Structure 1
Amino acid sequence: YQHYKLAFETQDELIRSLAIIGEMSQGNVMTRSILLQSTKIFSELTEAEECSIFLLNSAGVVIESMLARGSVKREEERILIGEILDKGLAGWVVSKRQVGLIQDTMKDDRWLNLPYQPYSVRSALCVPILKASTLIGILTLTHSQPQHFSQETGEILAAIGRSLALMLDNILAN
């Protein structure tokens, strides 16, 4: 019961936050603000140490992103995202359209350690942000301790992500 209560409270907070952002900004600023607020809320809910999010267009191309490592040069960001989608957990989630859970990154080859990664990752949870069967985005949460995340947490985030997908899809359509 507590998990569901927390999920509904989180979803409510996300919707209220996004409504406020929508009233105060527009275009690319609004999109980035929504992604930033979403990563903050999902990180707090799961006690994740790091979080990244990718927003995709209808062709599956990343059109906006926030990397866990923070701001990087555009070319470096393009290369990192390409590697992550080609060889990492996020790429697995794109192909499977389901939650990807890694309990221990040292024992799962879906995890890709990136060069000069400024943080340690031992567990990861990657959630598709879906509107029906259309992939709108990918959220990846990480923690330095193994077995930090659970499949149940992933399913709760996927449910909340469906609400987020509707909002993001609406923004992209305008």
Structure 2
Amino acid sequence: MPTVSTGFKKAVKQLSDKEKEAIILKAARRDGELYDLLAIELGELTPEEAYEQTAEKIRELMMDTTGRYLGRALTKSLRKSAKEIARFKRITKDVKLETDLHLYLLRLIFDNFTGQFDSYYKAFYTATARLLQRTIQLIRKNLHEDYHLEYKDELDSFLEQIHSRNKPLSFDLPREFVVE
């Protein structure tokens, strides 16, 4: 992201309100993320509504996945879903809702696609395990301990399902979510 120079700041301050409005509207039309950010800042869109929209996109990405090699297609859909979550995070800065989106994606995977974990290609299995690891780290780092108890049972279930497969992972994944 470019650094804003002092000359640029001065030039923006000298613009009239009408010119600033035109520039903002032009930029918002070109960039969907900027539009959503402005919509939240201006109260047109709540973080909960943005959560619902993102959850629907994730559901569509995962449930509409097809292809000759379903494991590969699911891995691509999982990556796209992770990008949607990252976009949501940049727009709202809401860690709790971001965590809920991670868990929503994990629920979709574990409710519908665990059969793909046994595939010859282990990319989907590994990507899911990495998503689970990131979710655990996100909860530990950014959420209060009370939420740890709320998420423990579900995370332990996911961890158990991952470890029940006899596939090696290139990273350490805990056997259970430890509440401190």
Give the alignment's TM-score, normalised by structure 1. 0.35
Q: Which of structures 1 and 2 has the bigger CA Rg?
A: 2
Instruction: Give TM-score scaled by structure 2 length.
Output: 0.34
The structure whose residues are more often strand, as a share, is 1
Query: Higher relative contact order at CA 8 Å, sep ≥6: structure 1 or structure 2?
Result: 1
Q: Identify the structure with the greater helix proportion.
A: 2
